[in-house]
Each structure stands twice: as C-alpha cells, then as structure tokens.
Amino acid sequence: MDDDFDDSQEVLEDKILDELSDELMSVSELADRLDTRRDFLAGYLECMKDQDKLEKMEVGKAHVYQVKD
C-alpha cells in the first residue's frame, strides 16, 4: 500500500512541476488545473518549497509559485 501512495505522490509532484515550468501560478489557479482542493495543494506546495523545488512569491494578496532554478 505504501508503494501506491509513493507513486501517487510522484505523479502529483510531476504534474505540479510540469504546470509551473511554463508560468507562475497561484495556488487557486493550480488547484483548478489539477482538479484538487486548494487547501491540500497549498500545504503540498509549501512542502515542495521547503525541499527547494519551488519558489514562492506574493503578488497582491495571492501567493504564486514557480519552479526553482
């Protein structure tokens, strides 16, 4: 069962990196594109940021993410 969980995490991470490789995107925009809950995705993006995979910026009231160089 853990292998299935690990695989689904890799798939989600790959989708996130793919979407963010082309443009900056807010949590809400990305959640809509990936058809997932915003609150879940916000936490996931923070974890990816902590792993130095993403950069986070504030644009107005929105937090936007991009793939870290």
Q: How many Å apart are CA 34 and CA 25, to the nearest integer?
A: 12
**Residue 46 vs residue 8, higher pLDDT:** 46
pLDDT for the residue numbered 14: 95
pLDDT for the residue numbered 8: 75
Tokens 């990305």 — which residue?
30
pTM of the model: 0.84
Q: How many Å apart are CA 15 and CA 1, to the nearest integer?
A: 22
CB atoms inside a 10 Å sphere around CB 13: 15
Share of the chain above pLDDT 90, in %: 80
The one-letter amino acid code at 6 reads: D
Can you tell me the mean pLDDT for 49-55?
97
List pLDDT tens digits, range 13-26. Answer: 999 999 999 899 99
The conformational region for residue 35 under phi > 0 = left, psi -120 to 50 = alpha, else beta, is left
CATH number (2.60.40.1890, 1.10.10.10, 3.20.20.220, 3.40.50.10860) of 2-67 reads: 1.10.10.10
